[in-house]
Chain A
Amino acid sequence: MEIKEIEACIEGILFAAGDPVSIDTLSDVLEIDKNTLKAIIKRMIDYYHYERRGIQIIEVESCYQLCTRPQYYEYIQKMVKPKHSQGLSNASLETLAIVAYNQPVTRSNIEQIRGVNSDGALNTLIERGLVEEKGRLEAPGRPILFGTTQNFLRCFGFKALDDLPQIDYPDNQGQIEIDDN
C-alpha cells in the first residue's frame, strides 16, 4: 500500500471506531509493523495541526482517537447543544490528584492526606469514569485499591501517566509549585 492509502485507511478506521484504537489493532488490521505505523500517524497528527483542521488525532497510552479541535468548540456547541456538564468540584479535583499521583490507593490513604472523608468525591470520580477499582490490598479488611482510567488521561490531555507534571520540593517558605512544561 502507498503511504497515502495507509493514511486514508487509518483515518477511516479512527472515524468509524470513535473510541481509542490501539496501535496493535491498527497493526493487525493493516498488516504493517508498529514503528512504521507510529511514524505515519505522527505525520498525520502534524499535518492536522499544521493545516488547523477541524479534527485531530490524539494519542493516549499507545491508542489513537479522532476528535474535534478545541478551537472550534464555540461553533460546534452552537449546533449540538452539549449536555450541561459541570466541571469537577474542588473536593473531587483534590481526590483525583491524590489518586493520580499515588495509585493504587485506598480510601483511607486519600482521607489521610485530605484530612476529611472523601467518599462522596471518590464516588463522583468513579461515576465520571475517571477513577476505577484496581483490585484489593492484601491487608486486613482487604480494602479496595483505586487508580485512574484511560478516560482520565484523555479528559485532562495526558498521553500517559508519565506525562503528569513533576512536583517541586517546597521552597524555604514551604510553598509548592507545579512544574509544567
Chain B
Amino acid sequence: MNKLSFKLEVFEGPLDLLMHLIEKNKVNIYDIPIAEITDQYLGYLERMEEMDLELSSEFLMMAANLLYIKSRMLLPKYSDPEEEEDPRQELVDKLLEYQKYKRISEYFGDRQHQYNHILYKEPEEIELPEQDEYEGFMPLSVEDLIKAFDNIFLRKSRLAPPSEKAFEKIVKYELISIKAKAAEILEILKQNKRVRFTELFEALCYRPEIVARFLAVLELIRDHRILAVQKAIGKDIYLLRVDHKEREMGND
C-alpha cells in the first residue's frame, strides 16, 4: 500500500476532533454514544501514530477521559439515577462551549474575506513652516547668569553627596581647563541648536568641574561666541550658538 494514500484531516484539538466525529455520525450532543465515539476517537489517534504525526498531550488526556466516562457508563447504578449526574455531562458542557466559538470562528472567517478587500491609506505627513524659535527671548545680564549658577549649586548641595572627606584620600583634585570646558560647550551647541543653562550642569557633580564650566560659559559670552537668552524673568535660561551673522550684531 502506498504510504501516502490516505489523508487525515487536521484538527485543532481533541474537542475539534470530537465535534467532527459527532457531526459525522449525526449524533445528539446531549446523548453521545460514548462507546462508539471513543472507538472512533482512538482509531483516529492510532492512524495519527501510524503516520508518525506528533500527538499533543491534550489528545491523550481526552482519550483517557473518554475511557473513564465509558467505564463509568458500564458500571451498574445503585443509587437513584435521578440524583446521579450523567458521567458525560462535563464533556457535553465543554463541547457546547467549544462549538459556540467554533461557529463564531467560521463566521469570522467568512467576514474576514469580505472585509479584507477594503484598503486604507497611510496618514499624511504634514510639514508646517518652522517658526522662529527664539522669538520672544530676551538677552540676559551677567547677574542673571550668576543667579542661575547659584541655583545649580543649591540644587547640587541638596543632592548631598557622601561626605567629601571620605573620598579625599582616594581622589585627588583634578586640574580642569576652562578652554576644554568651553570646547565641550561649543560641541554640545553644535549638536543642539540651543541648550538649557541648567542642563549643562545636570550631569556634573564634581565642584571644580561645575565652576570651570560656568567660567567657560562666561568667557564664551564675553567673546560673543554664545548668547544667553530668557523668555521672561524667572523662566529657563537658554544658551545659543552665535552664527557669524549674529556675531556681528552682538559686537555692536
**Minimum C-beta distance from B108 to chain A (A):** 5
- Asked if B123 and A16 sit within 8 Å, CB to CB, the answer is yes
Q: Which residues of A contact B16 (CB under 8 A)?
A: 115
B13 touches A176 (CB 8 A): no
Within 8 Å by CB of A156, from B56, B101, B112, B120, lies B112
In contact, A67 and B12 (Cβ under 8 angstroms): no
Q: Is B124 an interface residue (CB 8 A)?
A: yes
Bound: A141/B199 CA distance, A:
42
Query: B91-99, B201-209, B214-222: which one contacts chain A?
Result: B91-99
Residue in chain B with minimal CB distance to A20 = B120
- Across the two chains, which residue of chain A brings its CB closest to B101? A97
**B97 cross-chain contacts in A, Cβ below 8 A:** 113
Q: How far is the CA of A175 from the CA of B28 in the complex (A)?
A: 8
Most buried by B among A58, A82, A116: A116
CA distance A177 to B104 in the complex (A): 9
Q: How far is the CB of B46 from chain A (nearest CB, A)?
A: 20
- Whether B101 contacts A70 by the Cβ 8 Å rule is no
In the complex formed, the residue of A with least CB distance to B26 is A173
User: Is the Cβ of A156 less than 8 Å from the Cβ of B115?
Assistant: yes
Residue in B101, B118, B122 whose CB lies within 8 Å of A113? B101
The closest CB in chain A to the CB of B109 belongs to A93
- Interface stretch, picked from A34-42, A45-53, A83-91, is A83-91
B62 at the interface (CB under 8 A from A): yes
- Chain B residue total in the interface (Cβ 8 A): 43
- A155-B123 contact, Cβ under 8 Å, with A178-B107, A180-B107: no
Find chain B residues with CB under 8 A from A17 CB.
123-124
Q: Per-residue CB proximity of B21-40 to A under 8 Å, as 1/0?
A: 00000001110000000000
| Residues of chain B lying within 8 A (CB to CB) of residue A101 | 101, 104
A177 to B115, CA, bound (A): 22
Alpha-carbon distance A172/B96, docked complex (angstroms): 12
Distance between B72 CB and nearest chain A CB, rounded to angstroms = 20
- CB contacts (< 8 Å) of B120 on chain A: these are 18, 65-68
Closest to B124 in A: A16
Q: A16-B124, A18-B123, A73-B119 are in contact. Are A97 and B105 (CB under 8 A)?
A: yes
Residue of A nearest to B18 (CB): A115
Chain B: CB-nearest residue to A116: B13
> How far, in Å, is A45 (CB) from chain B's closest CB?
14
Q: Which residues of B contact A67 (CB under 8 A)?
A: 118-121
Q: Which residues of A contact B122 (CB under 8 A)?
A: 18
Check A114–B13 contact: CB distance below 8 A.
yes
- The answer to whether A88 and B112 have CB atoms under 8 Å apart is yes
* A85 cross-chain contacts in B, Cβ below 8 A: 116
With both beta carbons as reference points, the residue of chain A lying nearest to B30 in the complex is identified as A174
Contact of B62 among A115, A156, A172 (CB under 8 A): A115
Contact check, B101 vs A15: say whether CB atoms are below 8 A apart.
no
Instruction: Return B13 CB to nearest CB of chain A, in Å.
Output: 3
> A108 → chain B, closest Cβ, in Å?
14
- Residue of A18, A116, A157 touching B111 (CB-CB under 8 A): A157
Chain A residues positioned under 8 Å from B62 (CB to CB): 115
Within 8 A of A (CB), among B171-189: none
Contacts of B98 in A (CB 8 A): 113-115
Set A70, A88, A114, A165: member contacting B114, Cβ < 8 A: A70
Residues in chain A near residue B56, CB distance under 8 A = 116-117
Across the A-B interface, the 6 shortest Cβ-Cβ residue pairs: A174-B29, A116-B13, A73-B117, A93-B105, A97-B104, A18-B123
Which B residues have a C-beta under 8 Å from some C-beta of A? 12-16, 28-30, 56, 58, 62, 92, 94-109, 111-124, 126
Cross-chain pairs A/B with CB under 8 angstroms, 20 sampled = A15-B121, A16-B124, A65-B120, A67-B118, A70-B115, A94-B105, A97-B108, A101-B104, A113-B101, A115-B16, A155-B116, A167-B100, A167-B104, A170-B96, A174-B28, A174-B92, A174-B95, A174-B99, A175-B29, A176-B100
Known contacts A115-B58, A165-B104, A174-B92, then 7 further A-B pairs from the complex at CB < 8 Å, ordered by chain A residue: A67-B118, A73-B119, A91-B12, A93-B105, A174-B95, A176-B103, A177-B103
